[in-house]
Chain A
């Protein structure tokens, strides 16, 4: 069950047996994907979009914004103050303010796809990702 639904379930007498996400080596969380030709044609626009995205992810993780973020996610997900605070505590380490991950992480996804027979032609991780813009968008 995705958070914060799992936290809500605690109030109904259930318990969280495993925080599954932390166990998943062959997975990344959310990512932003774009058509290859569009990326090449409008790099400035892509950079501005990614800047807005990373600004949000970084704002959520910055300790000085904790009260604003906790209040906002409480309203967004309809959580009371205690659950919103607990949710925030789990949320922050799961986010990726840098915007990029190591090649090995992407390779695990590729290897998993090969293992499941989705393709018999594994690609190099660099052929499916391009973190050049997020790498230069420093906090």
Chain B
């Protein structure tokens, strides 16, 4: 049988815990779609870790999703936001009901990385160029760069798709999955 003293103790416990529980319960889940976790969108995790979203009443969830699926999900209302710039503008040109609201990066951070002995973009003629995927911003940037130097993609330089061996993607994925950077394998 519960004594009055126990009941008072329970009531006090509930009262004390209420302010702690209330903010978490009132956070609204916001789903943000992106094709990858990269240097261009890492700031969203910086915001999450520094509780900037919580301060505005949101529980931000990142959803990794292919571009074409992300655009369709956006149009259907299954995603709240997407982090696709060029693709979204192009989607809007095809009458998708989207609006670009903010541009957080002036330009993407991409390096054309070469082994020793290759001293100019023109030296790539007849060689293979590894790109993270055949499509998307990095691929588009590579095509732009090759053409700007008078090289024909596919004919003069063969683009090859494949993940970088240097691991930023895997580190970020580990962070994202909650394993933390120290648990990821390079």
Contacts and interface: CB of A to CB of B under 8 A. Distances in A.
Interface of A: 1-9, 12-24, 26-39, 45-46, 48-57, 59-60, 69, 72-73, 75-78, 87, 90-91, 93-96, 99-101, 105-106, 109-110, 113, 118-119, 121-123, 127-131, 133-134
Contacts, number: 304
Q: Is the interface of B mostly helix, strand, loop or mixed?
A: mixed
A14 B97 CA distance: 44
20 contacts: A1-B110, A1-B111, A1-B164, A8-B167, A9-B113, A19-B110, A29-B108, A30-B40, A30-B85, A35-B75, A46-B101, A52-B53, A56-B52, A73-B42, A76-B172, A77-B42, A78-B168, A95-B106, A110-B93, A131-B101
A49 B48 CA distance: 12
B104 A53 contact: yes
A5 B108 CA distance: 13
A31 B103 contact: yes
Contacts of B55: 52
Nearest to A68: B50
Interface of B: 28, 30, 32, 38-47, 49-50, 52-53, 55-58, 60, 74-75, 77, 80-86, 88-90, 92-94, 97-116, 118-121, 132, 137-138, 140-142, 144-145, 148, 164, 166-169, 171-172, 175, 181, 184, 186
A34 B75 CA distance: 9
A69 B43 CA distance: 10
B143 to A, nearest CB: 10
Given A9-B111, A36-B97, 4 more contacts: A12-B166, A15-B113, A31-B84, A52-B52
Contact of B90 (A15, A50, A113): A113
Contact of B98 (A12, A33, A54, A96): A33
A5 to B, nearest CB: 4
A52 B58 contact: yes
A100 B144 contact: no
Nearest to B34: A30
Nearest to B148: A23
B134 to A, nearest CB: 15
B186 A78 contact: yes
Contact of B166 (A8, A13, A38, A75): A8
Given A24-B141, A59-B50, A3 B43 contact: no
